[in-house]
Structure 1
């Protein structure tokens, strides 16, 4: 699992590692012949991991029956079955104390290394890690990781993921609970504050405004137990001041702050500009949900259905050329692509995850707290999101769900 995360800068290689992990899980289960399953993972953890997967996967399958692009929706559903054994493997990795320590500390180390690398990019103008990966790619294939157009259009700190994959901010924001938890346990309050500041700076430079909100939620969930409400309020005050200073020093940060203030405009154009065209996308998503209420337009069918539901046909969109690729919001993505059936299944999965937390004892909650925080902030519905039914963000979300289930419902006697 750690190799899967560490290789995200090379998506094709990471995907291959994930498939190998799924095959390894199948082999382990075959050797145990399922009779020794409880020795790998507790019965409740098997159940919760599987249920969370099916709450994600069944909407895909149901949406394929009459999807706009039926072949693609069905193909996506069949391909995503590979996630189930991989999730079992992730849950097994954190089912005992030793495995959990190695996995969670490993994730914290990855976040720390990527954070330091991004801070070096602020100083040097380039990411040392990405430069090394790009050099290796050119040595092997003769081609760079990113095209000249992608390099020219990069408008934020890209870090190890590179200017052709501008997701560093949202990725670090979602994974930051693991680093903050490790720093707090190892160096107490001072460690937490240093880690929170370093990651926060990178998220400000590298992230979209959605990642800013995600990281604010992380600080809230992670900090109140360690700092208390008064000192946590001081952290947020310091963060607000840092945003103002960086907005003065950095044109990129200032542009995002200025765009956010446009939400105060009374007219629709100001609101749409502040949301980078997302109000238009959300209007199209609601149209799709209204026209296909039962099971949606099909997973990854948003782009094909967009033209028929575009509230402003013929007008140049804020995001550039072409149709919107997804709804940019979890609830609207599920509703438009998988309909009411899909939303009910997602809600059922969320309810069962909450029920498991509610009835767990204090020790179990402490074990699962970093994974719980990472999962909660990633799926927080009052935010904008990457596509949850894409390979990258769907894989990250399911991995967090498996870490949560495996940590919370660890093997008996752990």
Structure 2
């Protein structure tokens, strides 16, 4: 018991490392450095503490689920490498992504006790709050910590050359919403919800609109479980949408583009999807031609011209424009990693769901925010960034580790350690 307590005290810095990693997401280089260094530090500490109670930092179930979720992501890319279109890149990506495993252990350890969860989840909520305030300032003044608003949408701290603000805030929305509801009740929750709606709408990525809508509906019901909260949410969101559309021509264009899907023809659907239908057809062609293990992770761009139709508009661009990846999680997995990849992804999802299903009510409550964030990020009926890219893959895996570590934390041991 003494060894376990000593080891825990030595890793009380783990939540701060996780928060540093999240806070640096707008700066890809430093964020990558913090992640890689965190992986090395986690390996070193765990190796040193292996025989001094280090394994007691997490329950056996948390160790297992964190590792299994990583393998569900990593094994498909490794198995896609041998006959990949760009075999050297696929193998390099899979070897490089091994660093995620020790970092995910560090993330899970960070939320394995009450102190760590409170610090980590509140810290993520505060980071999101700062990004929200910065984006609202940019919406009114054109100025942001990320620079001037030179794009046709809000870019916030991520900058005009890295338009991920809306997508990231939508995925992380459960954290500020949960903290606001716990501390300030329905009014605090509504205030944060309206701020998120404004910023995510003006950030322009329509995939984030659906993601945020799912978060708001689920959060309103889980936090308050009454119709009043849902009605207030729907009414407030509708008013916010009308006002934002009235003052933003670009937003109005995107709303009208989305409405083109109701035309009922392929041209309207393709227009609403910003020309993604040809990309999806090409991804389906790749999946059919390489059903076992796909064309290889990150090989989509290299294989695009071979499997695209002659009339594909993206072929006119030497880099295939938006055809860098499938823009949809199911098609990405099938085209780049095949049925083997789909098997591992579905297996990981099934085990994550099984852990939730058999968890205690207390465990579900403490894991509610990361569970919701992870579910909406991988929600299959949406468009997505590339899950095998460094940024979006890292974000998804971090959410998976937060989920596993908080859901399967050893509550009695963690509580005792906190009291000590």
Flag whether TM exceeds 0.5 (same fold).
Answer: yes
- Superposed counterparts of 1:247-258, under 5 Å: 247-258=245-256
Alignment partner of 1:37 is 2:37: no
Q: 1:125 aligns with which of 132, 135, 142?
A: 142
The answer for the alignment partner of 1:290 in structure 2 is 288
What TM-score, normalized to structure 2? 0.91
Give 1:210's match in structure 2, choosing from 207, 212, 236.
207
* CA pair 34-318 structure 1, distance change in 2 beyond 3 A: farther
Q: Which runs of 5+ in 2 are unaligned?
A: 1-17, 415-420
Q: Note the alpha carbon deviations across 1:299-348, whole angstroms, 9 max, x for none.
A: 00011111112135463579996250000000110000000000010000
Change (3 A) 1:332 1:35: farther
Selected match of 1:176 from 167, 173, 178: 173
- Cα deviation, residue 375, structure 1: 0.3
Question: What is the alpha-carbon distance in structure 2 between the residues aligned to residue 320 and residue 196 of structure 1?
Answer: 42
RMSD: 1.7
1:214/1:378 contact within 8 Å kept: yes
Who is 2:305 aligned against? 307
Asked if the contact 1:276–1:318 (Cα under 8 Å) also holds between the matched residues in 2, the reply is no
Q: Alpha carbons of 1:316 and 1:395: their partners in 2 closer, same or farther (altered >3 Å)?
A: closer
Moved more, 236-245 or 296-305: 236-245
Any stretches of 5+ residues in structure 1 without a counterpart? Answer: 135-150
The question of 1:106 aligning with 2:123 is answered yes
* SS of match in other structure, 1:328: coil
1:400 — aligned with what? 399
Q: TM-score, normalised by structure 1?
A: 0.92
Conservation of the 8 A alpha-carbon contact between 2:74 and 2:97: yes
Q: CA deviation at 1:244?
A: 2.6
Which stretches of structure 1, 4 residues or longer, exceed 4 Å deviation after superposition?
Answer: 316-321
1:43-122 equivalent positions in 2, closer than 5 A: 43-122=60-139
Q: 1:319 to 1:161 in 2, by over 3 A?
A: farther
- Provide the rounded CA distance (Å) in 1 between the counterparts of 2:242 and 2:314: 32
Q: Is the 8 A contact 2:66 2:401 kept in 1?
A: yes
Map residues 316-395 of structure 1 onto 2, 5 A cutoff: 322-323=320-321, 324-395=323-394
Q: What do residues 340-371 of structure 1 show as CA deviations (whole Å, max 9, x unaligned)?
A: 00001000000000000000001100110000
Q: CA deviation at 1:269?
A: 1.8
Give the number of equivalent residue pairs.
Answer: 394
Cα distance, 1:36 vs structure 2: 2.0
Counterpart-to-counterpart distance in 2, 1:35 and 1:298: 41
Q: Distance in 1 between matches of 2:231 and 2:338?
A: 40
